[in-house]
Structure 1
Amino acid sequence: MEKDKLSNEPISSTTQSQRLFTAIAIPDEHKQKLRQWAEQDLDHLSFRKWSDFRDYHVTLQFLGDVATSDIPQLEQALYQAAAEHAPFTLGIGGAGFFGREQFPRVLWRGVTGQRESLDQLYQSIVRATEPLGFKPEERPYRPHITVARSYTGQQPVPTSVWQPNDRIAEPWEVEKFVLYATRMGQKPMYQIIQMFPLLR
């Protein structure tokens, strides 16, 4: 069961816009396992930015800067998208990268389990938000969990990083997705502002 809760921090009504995205929140147990992997197996690697373990998530759709006044309408569309889907199971897969394998731009862990259900949820969210002016990305949807960005090491990343790793906890049931707001300069950087239960 996921333990993420809405933040108690108030969102100022004077804020004109917020940078938002939809995502699958990862249970605390899995975040801790990923943290252990990053700190124990990757401690010899140099990256410009490491994700705070509390921010680990699987992005669904990046929405960009959204006017605060438009958020209620957006949330209504997302509730409707969520209602089209039943809960499904996901797990954490192996390590992967964007950019060059030896000097990756992004290091991530993949997603396993009922990927077709995840893809269908993504498509539903895109369909629900497009009439509101949100455009889907042109590149294919590639679900992943970002662990680090911008490798700065002088030596190539060892191939052992990409080998299968069985330390991550068992799969979990996805019962909802969330709407995150980005809080630049804060740790954790992502704040849940709404949750959308899968109801079908």
Structure 2
Amino acid sequence: MTSHYFVGIPIDPSVIPFLSNWQETLQQHMDYKVWTHPEDFHITLKFLGPSSAEQLQSFVTRLDECDWPEAFSLTIGPGGYFGNPEKPRVFHVNVNLVPALKKIHQLVEEAGKHAGFALEDRRYTPHITLAKKWKGGQSPLIKEADLFAEKVELKVDRFCIFQIHPQQTPKYHKTAVYNLRKGPINGTAN
């Protein structure tokens, strides 16, 4: 059986309580089939899908050759969604697409292309999924937009390749870690 992988930015542990609190508030209004486990919170850079060992190694080799930017900070929040505004299929936290994040995404896409992974055909919309696969309830954003309006700073100093283990909790396991260059991470950097 071929394993499935994706590339993502893990969430700094200091921000996890903020995201978990939002999930708890959301659970008072809506029901979803899948609630992201706190240890699985991340910002996806690229979904790879099923990957052979050879294809994954080719991808890793390309990533090893990249010139990654310095560590940086970005803003996460407010809350957002994909799909019907009243019954969103995905409820997430918005992520500010700063230039450093955009550069990392582009380098990962290029490495993926050279390793034979399909290029994403949608515009990159960074986010942190809180819940997906709507089952019931109505989005609190309809009547209480300020309920998920808060924003917090997230420090980004690395990204990872994750292997997906759908039957486990948490289900995302790091298989490789790429550290960004050391540098100031106060404020929004390049």
Q: TM-score, normalised by structure 2?
A: 0.86
Is this contact kept in 2: 1:96–1:162, CA < 8 A? no
After superposition, where does 1:20-169 map in structure 2 within 5 Å?
A: 20-81=5-66, 83-112=67-96, 115-153=98-136, 155-158=137-140, 159-160=142-143, 162-163=145-146, 164-166=148-150
Residues of 1 paired with 2:51 and 2:38: CA distance? 26
1:123-180 deviation digits (Å, cap 9, x = unpaired):
1111122111112110110000011112222x532324542433x6x42321111000
Per the alignment, residue 181 of structure 1 pairs with 163
Shift of the alpha carbon at 1:115?
1.5
SS at match of 2:117: coil
**Which segment is superposed worse, 59-68 or 70-79?**
70-79
Partner of residue 171 from structure 1, selected from 140, 143, 153: 153
Shift of the alpha carbon at 1:41?
4.7
Residue 196, structure 1, aligned to residue 181, structure 2: no
Question: Kindly, what percent of the aligned residue pairs are identical?
Answer: 27
Is this contact kept in 2: 1:110–1:143, CA < 8 A? yes
SS at match of 1:104: coil
Residues of 2 paired with 1:156 and 1:173: CA distance? 32
Residues of 1 paired with 2:94 and 2:64: CA distance? 26
Q: Given residue 84 of structure 2, which amino acid in structure 1 is its aligned partner?
A: R
Alignment RMSD (CA, Å): 1.9
SS at match of 2:106: helix
1:32-69 deviation digits (Å, cap 9, x = unpaired):
22112211353232112111111110000111111124
Q: Given residue 24 of structure 2, which amino acid in structure 1 is its aligned partner?
A: E
1:2-56 deviation digits (Å, cap 9, x = unpaired):
xxxxxxxxxxxxxx53211111110112112211221135323211211111111
Residues of 2 paired with 1:38 and 1:184: CA distance? 20
Per the alignment, residue 4 of structure 1 pairs with none
Change (3 A) 1:162 1:119: farther
Q: Given residue 101 of structure 1, which amino acid in structure 2 is its aligned partner?
A: P
Residues of 2 paired with 1:125 and 1:69: CA distance? 17
Q: TM-score, normalised by structure 1?
A: 0.82
- 4+ runs deviating over 4 angstroms: none
Unaligned runs of at least 5 residues, structure 1: 1-15
Unaligned runs of at least 5 residues, structure 2: 183-190
